[in-house]
C-alpha cells in the first residue's frame, strides 16, 4: 500500500527499486495476520532514534511468537545502506518488518523458525510546521494484553484503529481520542497524546494498553532536560476538556498540535511550540 513515492525494498538480502512483492498467499502472515513492523524517519540527513525503532521491531516479533532473524545493529546498517540512495533533503519513512511464513500442525501458532524479513523505504513528506488536527470521541477502545498483542507494533491491531478513524472522520474530526478498557484516555487512534494544564505537562500513564512510543519518550527527555517534567498519570476525557494545550506525538509527524477536542477548542500554545523546536534541535545535533 504505497502512500508515498520513490520506494525501495530490501528483501532476501538485496535492495530492489520499487514496491517489491515480499509475501506469498499461503504465508502465515498473509493468511492469519502474524506481521509486525516499526517506523522511523529520515530527514535532513539524519534518522533520529533509528536504533531504538529497529530494536523495537525485534521485540515486537518476539511478542508475536516470530523469531527475529536480523540483529538490531544489522537492521540499522541495512537501512542506512538503502538511505544512501536518497538525497539529503528527502523525507523518508523507514519501515522494517517481520512476518511468519509457516505455522505448526494446527496452522494457528506460527513456526518460530520460518520468518520473513523486509525493509521498505518510502519517500513521504513531513507534515508542515503549521499542520494541526482535531479530536473526536469514538466508541471503540484500546484492547488489553489478555485479548490482543498490545505489547507489539503488530499489523493485526490496526483494523481497530481504522474503525476509530473512520467513525470520527464521519463526524468531521481528524483523529480520535481513545479510551482504554477502564474508560480513561489512552492515546489517539494514531499517536500518543500530551496535554498541558496550568503550566504542567501530562500524558496518560503507560498501562499496557498502548505502545508508549519512542518519540513520546524523546519528548519527555527533552522536556526534562529543559527543566519541565512530564507527569504520567490517569487522565479522563474531562481532563482534556480542561486542558490549555493538547498535542499528539508520533513518528510520522513528531509533534501535531490539537486545536479542538469534541467542541473544546485550544490554541497552539508555547509548550507545544517548544516541544517541536526542541525535537528538531535535538535531532539535527544528535551524533
Q: Which of 12, 29, 21 is nearest to 70 (CA)?
A: 12
Which pLDDT tens digit goes with each residue over 24-77?
999 999 999 999 999 999 999 999 999 999 999 999 999 999 999 999 999 999
* Average pLDDT, consecutive stretches of 10 residues, N- to C-terminus, the chain (287 residues): 82 96 94 96 96 98 96 98 96 97 87 93 93 98 94 96 98 98 97 97 96 96 95 98 97 94 97 96 85
Q: What is the pLDDT of residue 112?
A: 83
Q: How far apart are the first and last CA of the chain?
A: 33
Q: How many CB atoms lie within 10 A of CB 56?
A: 23
Instruction: Kindly list the domain boundaries of the chain, sorted by start residue.
Output: 5-123, 133-285
Q: Is the Cβ–Cβ distance between 109 and 65 less than 8 Å?
A: yes
Q: Is the Cβ–Cβ distance between 69 and 115 less than 8 Å?
A: yes
What is the CATH architecture assignment of 133-285?
A: Alpha-Beta Barrel (3.20)
Q: Helices marked H in the chain — which ranges?
A: 28-32, 50-63, 72-83, 158-170, 214-225, 237-241, 270-285
Instruction: Tell me the residue length of the chain.
Output: 287
Select 5-123's CATH number: 3.30.470.10, 3.30.1490.20, 3.30.460.80, 3.40.120.10.
3.30.470.10
The cell numbers describing 181, all together, are: 478498557
The cell numbers describing 195, all together, are: 496535554
| Residue where the block lists cell 480542561 | 242
Amino acid at each position: 500500500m504505497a502512500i508515498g513515492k520513490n520506494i525501495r525494498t530490501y528483501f532476501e538480502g538485496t535492495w530492489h527499486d520499487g514496491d517489491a512483492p515480499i509475501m506469498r498467499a499461503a504465508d502465515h502472515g498473509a493468511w492469519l495476520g502474524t506481521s509486525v513492523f516499526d517506523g522511523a524517519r529520515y530527514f535532513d540527513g539524519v534518522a533520529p532514534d533509528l536504533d531504538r525503532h529497529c530494536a523495537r521491531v525485534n521485540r515486537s516479533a518476539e511478542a508475536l511468537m516470530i523469531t527475529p532473524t536480523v540483529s538490531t545493529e544489522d537492521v540499522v546498517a541495512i537501512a542506512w545502506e538503502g538511505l544512501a540512495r536518497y538525497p539529503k533533503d528527502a523525507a523518508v519513512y523507514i519501515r522494517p518488518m517481520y512476518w511468519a511464513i509457516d505455522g505448526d500442525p494446527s496452522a494457528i501458532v506460527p513456526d518460530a523458525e520460518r520468518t520473513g524479513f523486509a525493509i521498505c523505504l518510502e519517500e513521504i513528506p513531513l507534515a508542515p510546521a503549521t499542520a494541526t488536527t482535531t479530536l473526536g470521541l469514538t466508541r471503540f477502545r484500546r484492547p488489553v494484553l489478555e485479548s490482543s498483542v498490545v505489547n507489539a507494533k503488530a499489523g493485526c491491531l490496526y483494523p481497530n484503529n481504522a474503525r476509530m478513524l473512520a467513525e470520527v472522520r464521519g463526524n468531521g474530526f481528524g483523529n480520535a481520542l481513545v479510551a482504554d478498557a477502564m474508560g480513561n484516555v489512552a492515546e489517539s487512534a494514531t499517536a500518543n497524546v500530551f496535554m498541558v494544564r496550568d503550566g504542567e505537562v501530562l500524558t496518560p500513564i503507560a498501562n499496557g494498553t498502548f505502545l508508549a512510543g519512542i518519540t513520546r519518550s524523546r519528548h519527555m527527555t527533552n522536556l526534562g532536560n529543559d527543566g519541565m517534567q512530564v507527569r504520567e498519570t490517569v487522565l479522563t476525557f474531562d481532563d482534556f476538556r480542561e486542558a490549555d494545550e493538547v498535542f499528539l506525538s508520533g513518528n510520522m509527524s513528531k509533534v501535531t498540535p490539537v486545536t479542538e477536542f469534541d467542541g473544546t477548542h485550544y490554541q497552539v500554545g508555547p509548550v507545544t511550540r517548544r516541544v517541536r523546536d526542541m525535537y528538531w534541535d535535538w535531532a539535527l545535533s544528535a551524533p
